[in-house]
Amino acid sequence: MAQATASKPVEADDLKKFHFTREMMRGDVYRKYEKAINAIWNPRELDYSRDVEDWARIPTERADALLGLTVRFFAGEQAVAENLVPMLEAAWALERFDWLMYLSTFVMEECKHAEFFAQWHERVPRILEPDELAPYFIQREKTVDPTGRFELKEVVHEGLPRYAREVTAAVQTGDREQIERAFLRFLTLYNGHVEGVLTMPSYEIVVDTCTAWDALPALKQGYRRIMSDEGRHITFGTSAVRAILADHPDWEPVVHDVFDEFRGTIVGLVEYQKAVPELDLDKYQVGKVRHYRNRCREMGVTPDETLIEQILDPSIDFVVGVTAG
Amino acid sequence: MTSSKRKQFVCLEAGCDRVIEADSDEGLIEAVQKHVAEAHNSFELDEFILAGATEVDRQP
């Protein structure tokens, strides 16, 4: 087919109206957009009937322990969805239309993950209203490290909104370096720390629990679908961090400072890790190290070996979400 | 035609550092997932494998 040609002189302002280029469409971020579009799934199409049957036979104390995790995920998915707008603002301010396109799928997926938890909680344990869910929510900031070495901060419900406000404030200045720095901090916290390290073992714990109990197939399937989406989210964030650091290599300490602020949350065990006797506790701590080292590799930063040692230190065994001591 | 390059992924599980190679992205994903399942009773997401992969010269 012949290539279209036009003889009209090109105005510089007209060029700014078009963002698609062949190079952009060959890029990794655009690939993620295409994959996300091709991988759309619908929580309402999962079959929850077996989960309803299983729920009726699961002992109350086990069911309550599982709800401690699923309710926290439900709240977490809503919290991250609410804090995505600054990412879109930053992509717009940094003139990255490929980031903007991919982030449109990111926002939809986080909202859909929240919808999955709404569907599952409404259909299986039959709780959905805020006053029905809140009693199961584990207050992470109430966790106590008996050694006193680590401060436990609420990363999802306090840290992320605070970092998101920094991005919005930076975008309003119009200063590119301020925007890049604030976005670097947000991406590191959200995609690197929260999604990329902290949450991965929790997903695996739910999947492993469903497998060990031979129960709740819709919950297991939903978590697997969510994890697949999260794989794109996390690697988008870490690749964006790498891109920003390529322009500002002296900003690598900024990445470590973000992990350091929420060090206690990563070092401690994930809630529920001690609640299911069938689970191998060490597996999730060792796996956390793998996820941290993976994220550092993707971001192009040198891992903090002291953080790795602390994650693997068996004497540091306080459980995030459980008041220890 | 066979490419002169292979895909390589280093498993970063603590104490592992196993180097895994394959001729294609699909082959690498399959090989890494098999390793992580068998050696670590866990799994690695496809996107993590692709993001951590490098291209290396094919050994003669």
Q: Which of A320, A203, A323 is nearest to A262 (CA)?
A: A320
Chain A window 267-296: which residues touch B at a Cβ cutoff of 8 Å?
A: 280, 283, 286-287, 289-290, 293-294
Residue A274 scores a pLDDT above 90: no
Order the strands of the B5-10 sheet from edge to edge.
B19-22, B5-10, B54-57
Q: What is the pLDDT of residue A322?
A: 42
Residues of A in contact with B52 (CB under 8 A): 294, 297-298
Dmax (CA) for chain A in angstroms is: 78
Interface membership of A51 toward B (CB under 8 Å): no
CATH number listed for the domain at residues A24-312: 1.10.620.20
Alpha-carbon span A154 to A158, nearest angstrom:
5
| DSSP symbols for A152-214 | ---IIIIIHHHHHHHHHHHHHHT-HHHHHHHHHHHHIIIIIIIIIIIHHHHHHHHHHHHHHHT
Residue A325 scores a pLDDT above 50: no
Residue A34 scores a pLDDT above 80: yes
Q: What is the pLDDT of residue A14?
A: 85
For the stretch B20-60, pLDDT in tens is 999 999 999 999 999 999 999 999 999 999 999 999 998 76
Residues of A in contact with B46 (CB under 8 A): 228, 231
Residues of A in contact with B12 (CB under 8 A): 289-290, 293-294, 297
**pTM (global) more than 0.80:** yes
C-alpha R_g of chain A: 21
Residue of B14, B48, B52 lying closest to A286 (CB–CB): B14
Q: What residues contact B50, with CB distance under 8 A and at least 6 apart?
A: A235, B25, B28, B29
C-alpha R_g of chain B: 11
Listed by start position, the domains of chain A span: 24-312
ipTM, 2 decimals? Answer: 0.91
Helix A49-57, helix A217-247: angle, nearest 10: 110
Q: What is the mean pLDDT of residues A273-291?
A: 82
Enclosing H/E stretch for A99? helix A97-123
The 10 Å Cβ neighbour count of residue A284 is 20
